[in-house]
Structure 1
């Protein structure tokens, strides 16, 4: 292979790689992130949740990336990628239109017992855990597990 072809191949590879970072590979219904606590001092899980589908979807597939962060025991930190299906149904909470989002297929691996599979999307886009009676858990404990929406124009939108 000549030097010119090597340079062309390198540039093509870089363009393809960088092009994949510009936008999601398909429609993204929503993208959230948060840092729920783990059962231990100074321990958290970084959660990134992407619901795939167009903005009008009411079901689809999801991708989730978790990264445990033990500040005093870094050797226990783990990263995991999960997927499954999601459904959304409109609900009215105290006169406000919200969505209930249910995730199916979450893994039962290490620390995944702290992950939430039933959320209420508040009008501000925040996901908070749903209580057993279908209301948003706005207690301090529930809010510790909230996920914040990423702005649609953010670099990471739709990336997990």
Structure 2
């Protein structure tokens, strides 16, 4: 009996990892280093909603730390957490259609518009507001989809 109680107590904390309390449209992560503002970022983004959703709630977590090239006056590392509404829209330019994900009311220090590629990678929106940013800086700032089977999928 005592062994069964120990097993139950050990397994109880894992129950929260087994199921999502809400539908998850997607979960992405990435490292945005070498930014012109002097900060390197570790980004995690979760979009709530079923697979066919066109809007929902997003959860953004950004760990900011001073870049190796930044001056000491930049300050210490800190964590930014944000939650608001995301919206999907489609634009057509040059005969191509792009799916754009807008993070409404995102902090101005963070990227708020991404192009969702067919591979489910999020690439920052180019300055023209209609296409993916395929520059070196844009490629460094892309977010990679986290596998559905990954530990902590859908959680920030």
Query: Normalising by structure 1, what TM-score?
Result: 0.77
Residues of 1 paired with 2:54 and 2:9: CA distance?
36
Residue 118 (str. 1) matches residue 113 (str. 2)? yes
- 1:47 deviates by 0.5
Aligned equivalent of 1:64: 60
Gaps of 5+ in 2: none
Aligned equivalent of 1:81: 81
Q: Which runs of 4+ in 1 moved over 6 A?
A: 10-13
- 1:79 deviates by 1.5
Would you say the 8 A contact 2:58–2:83 is kept in 1? Answer: yes
Would you say the 8 A contact 2:98–2:131 is kept in 1? Answer: no
- 1:121 deviates by 0.6
Aligned 1:137-152 pairs, distance under 5 A:
137-152=133-148
Q: 1:16 to 1:105 in 2, by over 3 A?
A: farther
Aligned 1:47-58 pairs, distance under 5 A:
47-58=43-54
SS in 2 for 1:76: coil
What do you get for the CA RMSD once the two structures are aligned? 2.5
Residues of 2 paired with 1:25 and 1:143: CA distance?
33
- 1:61 deviates by 0.4
Q: 1:13 to 1:92 in 2, by over 3 A?
A: farther
Aligned equivalent of 1:136: 132
Would you say the 8 A contact 1:47–1:66 is kept in 2? Answer: yes
Number of aligned residue pairs? 146
Residues of 1 paired with 2:93 and 2:147: CA distance?
24
